[in-house]
Amino acid sequence: MRLSQYPINTLKETPAEAEVLSHQLMLRSGLIRRLAAGLYSWLPMGLRTLQKVERIIREEMNRAGALELVMPVIQPAELWQESRRWSEYGPELLRIKDRHQRDFVAGPTHEEVITDIARRDLKSYRQLPVNFYQIQTKFRDEVRPRFGVMRAREFIMKDAYSFHVDEASLREGYRAMYDAYTRIFTRTGLTFRAVRADSGAIGGDVSQEFHVLAASGEDAIAFSDGDDYAANLEAAAALPPSEPRRAPQQPLNKVATPGARTIEELARFLKIEPARCVKTLIVEGTEDTVVALVVRGDHELNAVKAQKLPGVANPLRMASAERVVKATGTEPGYVGLVGLRCRVYADHSAFALADFVCGANEKDMHLTGVNWDRDVTGAVAADIRNALEGDPSPSGRGHLKIARGIEVGHIFQLGRKYSEPMKAVVLDEAGHEVPLYMGCYGIGVTRIVAAAIEQNHDERGIIWPEPIAPFQVVLVALQLQKSTRVREVAERLYAELAAAGIEVLYDDRDARPGVKFADAELLGIPHRLVVAERGLDAGKLEYRHRRDAQSTEFPADDALAFIRSRFAP
């Protein structure tokens, strides 16, 4: 591709709308353009990378035996009513009406449609197992789209759905997808990790996420330094302390703590460690109740864990200040456990405390020397906090470390969540109708591109992993308007590389060297060749990898063999 005929428009300045680095670089390098909040066009340079990612995915999905199809973006409401997600999915589901006032949705995912296909077309266990996938645009009406294509409203996803006659086959199919995903992410050249996950809104039992590791990742990942345990922090178990609780030593005592609403203020006021205090969080319960959740002062509540407890509203909602006053007699900041009349869940670590501090259910007052059983009864111990770096690993070996990741893939064993309500059944060997077992497997295709940049960049721009770079080689010809010799060599080299099937971006623009170098680096093309008067006298060209600090010279006659030797094996 000749850059003189490629309308790239790189920006020196960062558009104000972009906060994260990948978004800034994608805009500056002209990979994408924003059309509206969470809606992006992919310009030619960006599309090349996107298609490389798609190609890797397609090849590995096909290799794993999955069958590609395409389903509509717009789907009839009836299907979503059947699966109950019409009412369960919430405002992220974009609902639209056609000219006849019939309800439709812009598909945020395609379980309903594929299940409909399955129930029509799959009749017999003999047709199973089968795995269908598509690479298709999804729409999720995010509350707050941000970070460019990382959290856009419209995005491209590879979604696959497998169907099985029994659970054993589902597990096998799931395992095959795990392996395929591992190959896919390995081939993209990204550093990633597979972790245990919460299955969230999609539903189902077993699930794992694939995360690209990057400091700016939205998710926290906990992994063990002692074995291969890894989990999303949302799903990482926090083990109960190994030592038993001490016997009470202090008497219960009420102290004035004027203005000490937060744990930090309280701990400072009483000159004690936050770990000696507990936070009593009042959340909405199921029905018209509230529930108290208790965590140690130095711990954070884990909403995903908490909302699974019996009696706690799912999704988790903090009670309003008015509800807190009504339930406890005091305002937020002074809520405590003694005399509290509602269901109480205490995190294992909080439950292991003796002689601790909590609110007194009275403004500007706290209680010290509080003890479970003696002063507070009826609390149920549960794991409701986030695991912390240094906690013992739930696997029993090693301790947890925390890293940040960008979720780019998620695989689920759905079981019969959709097949049962939607009556997707086949006849088994005995001739009985049985609901299908389903698995579903997603990859955020557009997000991978942003994640790749988050993980691979420097102050000059993008550094593409070679397998997904828009071009393999950038050929920079300096002063080719002046020097016929440079032009001839560059043209010949361009033709030669192109004929050899190498993807070359040929910078034949009439621009100054600094402009060309800066653009090549911003665009992040892995291999750079420079043709200039300077080297040609000695018959030399110049090579530099995007990650290299220095250029190297090599004989011009030998260019094709040389550049091939530089490609990753």
Q: Does 321 bind RNA (CB under 7 A)?
A: yes
Instruction: Name which of 177 and 236 has its Cβ closer to RNA.
Output: 236
Name the minimum Å distance from CB 335 to RNA: 2
Angle among Cα 208, 214, 215 to the nearest 5 degrees reads 125
Give the one residue of 64, 301, 463, 505 binding RNA; rule: CB under 7 A: 301
Determine contact, residues 245/353, Cβ cutoff 8 Å. yes
Name which of 182 and 551 has its Cβ closer to RNA. 551
Tell whether residue 297 is a contact of RNA (CB under 7 A): yes
**15 touching RNA, by CB under 7 A:** yes
387 touches RNA (CB under 7 A): no
Q: How many helices (H) and strands (E) does the chain have?
A: 15, 30
Minimum CB distance to RNA, residue 551 (Å): 5
Count of C-beta atoms within a 10 Å radius of residue 259: 10
Q: Per CB under 7 A, which of residues 442..461 are in contact with RNA? A: 460
Within 8 A by CB and 6+ apart from 520, the residues are: 474, 476, 507, 528
**70, 74, 215, 515: which one contacts RNA (CB under 7 A)?**
515
Q: Check residue 144 for interaction with RNA (CB under 7 A).
A: yes
Of positions 13, 287, 459, 537, contacts RNA by CB under 7 A: 13
Rg (CA), the chain: 29
Nearest distance from C-beta of residue 282 to RNA, angstroms: 5
Q: What are the CA-CA distances from residue 559 to residues 87, 353, 471, 504, 516 (Å)?
A: 62, 71, 17, 13, 20
Task: Check binding of 481 to RNA (CB under 7 A).
Answer: yes
By CB under 7 A, the residues from 235 to 264 that bind RNA are: 261-264
Minimal distance, residue 435 CB to RNA, in Å: 36
| Member of 1, 6, 14, 172 binding RNA (CB under 7 A) | 14
| 12 is an interface residue for RNA by CB under 7 A | yes
Nearer to RNA, 157 or 480 (CB): 480
Q: At 478, list the tokens.
A: 């300096």
Are residues 545 and 520 in contact, defined by beta-carbon separation less than 8 angstroms? Answer: no
Q: Which of 43, 64, 303, 352 is in the footprint of RNA by CB under 7 A?
A: 303
- Is residue 17 a contact point for RNA (CB under 7 A)? yes
Residue 10 in contact with RNA, rule: CB under 7 A: yes
Residues 61-90 that bind RNA (CB under 7 A): none
Residues forming a β-bridge with 392: 399
Does 334 help bind RNA (rule: CB under 7 A)? Answer: yes
Candidates 81-89, 209-217, 327-335, 344-352; binding stretch for RNA (CB under 7 A): 327-335
> What's CA 41's distance to the chain center, in Å?
21
Instruction: By CB under 7 A, tell whether 369 contacts RNA.
Output: no
Tokens 């409701």 belong to residue: 384
Helix (H, G, I), strand (E, B) or coil at 362: coil
Instruction: Give min distance, CB of 18 to RNA, in A.
Output: 8
CB environment 290-310: b (16+ within 10 A), e (fewer): bbbbbbbbbbebbbbbbbebe
DSSP string, 121-172: H--BGGG-SEEEEEEEEEE---SS-BTGGGB-SEEEEEEEEEEESSHHHHHH
SS3 47: helix
The one among 147, 210, 223, 229 contacting RNA by CB under 7 A = 147
Q: Which is nearer to RNA, 246 or 317 (CB)?
A: 317
106 lies in the binding site for RNA (CB under 7 A): no
Question: HSE on the CB side for 20, CA within 13 Å?
Answer: 21
335 binds RNA (CB under 7 A): yes
**Position among 75, 280, 446, 455 found at the interface with RNA (CB under 7 A):** 280
For residues 536 and 515, give the distance between their C-alpha atoms in angstroms, rounded to a whole number: 21
Q: Counting contacts by CB under 7 A, is residue 139 touching RNA?
A: no
Could you tell me the two tokens for 538? 């000695």
328 touches RNA (CB under 7 A): yes
Q: Tell me whether residue 318 or residue 427 sits nearer to RNA (CB atom).
A: 318
Residue from 350, 532, 559, 563 binding RNA (CB under 7 A): 532
Q: Is the dihedral of CA 553, 558, 563, 566 positive or negative?
A: negative
d(C-alpha 30, C-alpha 519), whole Å: 11
Residue in 189, 285, 336, 439 binding RNA, rule: CB under 7 A: 336
Residue placing its CB nearer to RNA in the complex, 5 or 249: 5
Whose CA is closest to 183, among 65, 64, 68?
64
CB 217 within 8 A of CB 454: yes
Tell me if 522 contacts RNA by CB under 7 A. Answer: yes
Judged by CB under 7 A, which of 171, 404, 534, 566 binds RNA? 534
Strand blocks (E) in 10-150: 32-36, 39-42, 67-68, 74-76, 94-97, 103-106, 130-139
Binding mask 201-240 vs RNA (x if CB under 7 A, - otherwise)?
----------------------------------------
- The least distance separating RNA from the CB of residue 343, rounded to whole angstroms, comes to 15
Among 214, 266, 350, 440, interactor with RNA by CB under 7 A:
266
What distance in Å separates the CA atoms of residue 370 and residue 337, rounded to the nearest whole number?
A: 9
Could you tell me the smallest distance in angstroms from the CB atom of residue 384 to RNA?
9
> What span, in angstroms and rounded, lies between the C-alpha atoms of 500 and 564?
10
Q: Which residues face 135 on adjacent strands?
A: 158
> Would you tell me the crossing angle of helices 559-566 and 484-499 to the nearest 10 degrees?
60
Q: Which of 518, 545, 562, 566 binds RNA (CB under 7 A)?
A: 518
Binding site for RNA (CB under 7 A): 9-17, 19, 28, 36-38, 143-147, 261-264, 266, 277, 279-283, 297, 300-303, 318-319, 321, 324, 328, 332-336, 358-359, 460, 478-479, 481-482, 512-515, 517-519, 521-522, 530, 532-535, 542, 551
